[in-house]
Structure 1
Amino acid sequence: MSKLKLYTFPLSGHSHRVELMLSLLSLDAELIKVDLAKGEHKSAEFLAKNPAGQVPVLEDGDITLADSNAIIMYLATKYDQGRTWYPEDLVTQTKIQSYLSLAAGKLAFGPCNARIINVFGKPLDKEFALTLAHDLLTLLDQTLSSQTWLVGDTPTLADVAHYTYIAHAPEGDVSLENYPHIKTWLATIEQLKGFVPMPKTKTGLTA
């Protein structure tokens, strides 16, 4: 049995971000579904793992980690022997970190929140989320107009951190039609060995 355990939820983009990283690294992990509808993420047992009461949570032996960006960085640093996903070069690391910050900012409050409003009915500001989403997509599409990946010549954590919520942005009424380079980038990621999809929800533009 794997010493890696991932507490996850099938429709959580943050959880999928980690599941994708695990699969791309060919790591065997036990996936433990947390029933958010039943409030399992607020149980005393789960809060002992993550006081914030959020998925994903990764257990690696005696180590327990929360926050999807922190988890994928941990996995890439510890288990990627070739150090391609999070290279040791300081300049490259800095560029990747800027994208992880973007993922925790405009991605989270833009495409992610727009999708959360539609899929889970959260009372958030949809107009603000859509504005941020298109600001982000415009920026990324321009970047990808001259390169295959967000940082460097190979896929990195920057790509993993952004993939899921952009791929599922139409579920939040965020159209990708005006972003051809992003659409090519998504398709390229989906061709990677070890790629695993997140289940789609028929809502928004995908209804």
Structure 2
Amino acid sequence: MSVENSTDAPVILYRHPKSGHCHRVELMLSLLGLPYETVDLDMAAGAHKAPDHLAISPLGQVPAIDDNGVKLSDSNAILTYLVMRHGDAPVWRGDDPVEAAEIQRWLSIAAGEIASGPCAARLVTVFGAELDHAAAVARAHALFAVMETHLQTRAWLAAERVTLADIAGYSYIAHAPEGGVSLAHYPAIRAWLGRVEGLERFVGMARSPALA
């Protein structure tokens, strides 16, 4: 499912170690067996807005990567690049139009409902973001109810194998309890998380104290 990097130089991943967006990129790098190094940015001190980082990520975002001169930001864009440059792209992105569209739908959910639900709830509890926590928790549970039904009849989100959909979705759902969103009533989701965690070369993200 992967090929080795064509150079000996590692991919540089600029990140915050407790960011789910950053973790999904690190997980993909690891699953592909790519050599990489992490650079943790002091975002509280504004390191992500410094000129040297803006040269890599013009919007001042993490994650960002430098792959031997190829500089990219936006986690889902990076995932797509990594599998097209270094992996088996049809396996990860879909090998027919319907499958590819289904994977893209879950990437959109990662940027939409996951970001505004479990991600936003965790931003409040872990990072002190001034967001509506109750609304974020409600959105998370609405999404999880749909996902629970979806995963009761299948092992993976978008295909009969792991794809970018699962990698993009994993991090914030696995860490939803840190945002006060319990996974206790979602056994199919928990089983799916376990399958992701059972992948060869899986790497986890540092956990914060759970609130649920």
Aligned: 1:202 with 2:209: yes
Distance in 1, Cα, partners of 2:43 & 2:81 = 25
Cα pair 2:117 2:137 within 8 Å, conserved: yes
Tell me which of 168, 171, 177 is aligned to 2:175: 168
Shift of 1:87: 2.6
Tell me which of 77, 80, 85 is aligned to 2:87: 80
Shift of 1:77: 1.7
Tell me which of 1, 5, 11 is aligned to 2:18: 11
Distance in 2, Cα, partners of 1:79 & 1:48 = 24
1:143-158 → structure 2 map (5 Å cutoff): 143-158=150-165
Tell me which of 60, 65, 68 is aligned to 1:58: 65
Aligned: 1:113 with 2:120: yes
Shift of 1:85: 1.4
Cα pair 2:83 2:89 within 8 Å, conserved: no
Instruction: Give the equivalent residue in structure 2 for 1:127.
Output: 134
Shift of 1:80: 1.2
Instruction: Give the equivalent residue in structure 1 for 2:5.
Output: none
Other structure's SS at 1:83 match: helix
Instruction: Give the equivalent residue in structure 2 for 1:67.
Output: 74
Distance in 1, Cα, partners of 2:60 & 2:160 = 37
Tell me which of 185, 189, 198 is aligned to 1:178: 185
Cα pair 1:2 1:30 within 8 Å, conserved: no
Q: Normalising by the residue count of structure 1, what TM-score does the alignment of the two structures yield? A: 0.95
1:96-111 → structure 2 map (5 Å cutoff): 96-111=103-118
Tell me which of 140, 144, 150 is aligned to 1:137: 144
Instruction: Give the equivalent residue in structure 1 for 2:39.
Output: 32
Runs of 4 or more above 2 Å deviation: none
1:105-145 per-position Cα deviation (integer Å, ceiling 9, x unaligned): 11000000000000010100111101110111111111100
Q: Normalising by the residue count of structure 2, what TM-score does the alignment of the two structures yield? A: 0.93
Distance in 2, Cα, partners of 1:125 & 1:35 = 25
Shift of 1:82: 6.5
Show structure 1 runs of 5+ residues with no match. Answer: none
Identity %: 46
Distance in 2, Cα, partners of 1:104 & 1:33 = 23
Residues paired across the two proteins, number: 205
1:3-38 per-position Cα deviation (integer Å, ceiling 9, x unaligned): 421111110110001000000111111211111122
Cα pair 2:33 2:201 within 8 Å, conserved: yes
Distance in 1, Cα, partners of 2:159 & 2:66 = 30
Shift of 1:103: 0.6
Other structure's SS at 2:92 match: coil
Show structure 2 runs of 5+ residues with no match. Answer: 1-7
Distance in 1, Cα, partners of 2:166 & 2:21 = 13
Tell me which of 30, 48, 69 is aligned to 1:41: 48
Instruction: Give the equivalent residue in structure 1 for 2:4.
Output: none
Distance in 1, Cα, partners of 2:124 & 2:10 = 35
Distance in 2, Cα, partners of 1:34 & 1:25 = 24
